[in-house]
Structure 1
Amino acid sequence: MSDLVALVTGGSGGIGAAICQALARTGAVVAVGYQGNVSAAEHVAQTCDGQAVAVRINVADENSVAGAMAQAGELGRLGILVNNAGVVDDDLLLRLTPERWDHLMTVNLRGAYLTSRAVLRPMLRARWGRIVNVSSVVGMRGNAGQAAYAATKAGLVGFTKSLAREVARKGITVNAVSPGYVETRMTAGLPERARELLTTFAPIGRPVSADEVAHAVRFLASDEASAITGVDLAVDGGAAM
């Protein structure tokens, strides 16, 4: 991937950071997408074993997306997009206000729409591209208190499959990766009992690591996965079985 640029949204921590590092090890130039924490994004860029730069992007804002795409395009041929940016806002549906629901939909779904739409033109010109959307096992099996989040992640899988059909003959693959319970800064705030329950869902009996998710993304972004498109790959220790 030494001649390619990979843009990873939500790249400043957790799964996103691991994805950036995994893609950098392949030789890709990585644009570490972040919205607010520039120091974290710059730290991730420094830890990448290759060329990487922090790129500010608000995935829910069309102008911000366009600016980030232009900045990433200055680094070389933008051939890989990983839609990892997302937000979580858990609550029972009766307590979830329309504003909170809309915010989840805007970031988790509109964000993937805007970034994918923006990156398709350079990919179509090159007749090669890789889009990998980070979904969640919650989108497959559901979870109490996560109706909105699960809806966005299930929607992201439908988006993946539909877009994959649109661009398959143009040398562009579109896939999703659905992690199970991953120990990250985002999940660290969960009560201990909740973390124990999430772990028991997986037959492997342990959380999935961010690196294990990143390895799946790296494979789907490679030439080795050129015949794989429209797939939702569960990296969840068997939790969705």
Structure 2
Amino acid sequence: MRENKTLFVTGASSEIGTAFIEQVADNYDTIVAHYRSSAGRLLPLEEKLGEKLVMVQADFADATSVRKMLDFMTERQLKPDHIVHLAASPMENEKFKKLDWCNFAESTETNIRPIVDILEEFMPVMAKQKYGKVVFMLSAVTLGMPPKYKSVYTTTKYALLGLMKSLAVEYADKGITVNGVSPEMIDTRFLNNLPDLIKEMNADTMPMKANLTVNQVVPTVSFLLSDGADMISGQNIAITDSKE
């Protein structure tokens, strides 16, 4: 097992982020936890983990803000061995005819550009040390046919899926694994912009008649960062309760 590891989590103040950090904290010497505006949600972890947890702020809709975050990490010599990308814009329902290119461009700037900047900063470091692991939080919309009225969200997730697979191939000989997890709807604040009826309808399609919980998703992310997943790369892992 590699020692003195550093973990970087984007969207760490999310419910998945805090639960994930709590589960894997003992595996790392330093955990860099990104948040946009909800630092308070990370305070219980800071109290528990002390100096092990380093909170960094950035608004992913602002390229300058992301650059400042990366500069801070470089100045502090916070070079992650593992990166988990959880940050994402909330899922929304909207018919395609009511959208225009600005909606897609905004999603690209907020959801794709930041992780590209982050990986361009740190993957060369991983490659030099011949070790690294990256996990993308994707979505079940990338499995088969997606639900209606989510063209922006679905397009963004497919772009991230393409990035994940491309990097897995490009860095395969550098000791770096790059994977994604694609869960069905998870019962978190992320779904707040969706009508309750849509969440209920999705739950009804699940074999257990319930949307996923955070604790049903986090273990898969943790496994992909473990030594047991050293030979797994370029995979999009479905977490769907056997939903067809």
Q: By the TM > 0.5 criterion, same fold? A: yes
For 1:86-235, what aligned pairs fall within 5 Å after superposition? 86-88=88-90, 89-140=92-143, 141-235=145-239
State the 1:18 CA deviation: 1.9
Partners of 1:231 and 1:30 lie apart in 2 by 25
Amino acid at match of 1:224: G
Contact 2:165 2:234 in 1 (8 A): yes
Contact 1:25 1:49 in 2 (8 A): no
Contact 1:19 1:218 in 2 (8 A): yes
Aligned to 2:5: 4
SS at match of 1:78: coil
- Superposed CA deviations along residues 169-206 of structure 1, whole A, max 9, x for unmatched, are 10000000111110101214533321221112322332
- Superposed CA deviations along residues 120-142 of structure 1, whole A, max 9, x for unmatched, are 12211211001101100022231
Amino acid at match of 2:85: N
Aligned to 2:81: 79
Partners of 1:227 and 1:128 lie apart in 2 by 12
- Superposed CA deviations along residues 135-186 of structure 1, whole A, max 9, x for unmatched, are 0002223111101101111121111111100001100000001111101012
Partners of 1:19 and 1:50 lie apart in 2 by 18
Moved more, 117-126 or 38-47: 38-47
Aligned to 2:17: 16
The 1:168–1:62 alpha-carbon spacing in structure 2 relative to 1, beyond 3 Å, is farther
SS at match of 1:238: coil
The 1:75–1:226 alpha-carbon spacing in structure 2 relative to 1, beyond 3 Å, is same
Contact 2:60 2:110 in 1 (8 A): yes
Identity of aligned residues (%): 25
Partners of 1:208 and 1:2 lie apart in 2 by 33
The 1:213–1:28 alpha-carbon spacing in structure 2 relative to 1, beyond 3 Å, is farther
Aligned to 1:58: 59
State the 1:77 CA deviation: 4.4
TM-score (normalizing by structure 1): 0.89
Partners of 1:125 and 1:184 lie apart in 2 by 38
State the 1:48 CA deviation: 5.4
How many equivalent pairs are there?
A: 240
SS at match of 2:112: helix
Where structure 1 has 5 or more consecutive residues not aligned to the other structure, the ranges are: none
Contact 2:181 2:236 in 1 (8 A): yes
The 1:130–1:59 alpha-carbon spacing in structure 2 relative to 1, beyond 3 Å, is farther
- Superposed CA deviations along residues 59-84 of structure 1, whole A, max 9, x for unmatched, are 45554434434544536541011111
SS at match of 1:54: strand
The 1:48–1:208 alpha-carbon spacing in structure 2 relative to 1, beyond 3 Å, is farther
Moved segments of 4+, more than 6 Å: none
TM-score (normalizing by structure 2): 0.88
- Alpha-carbon RMSD: 2.3
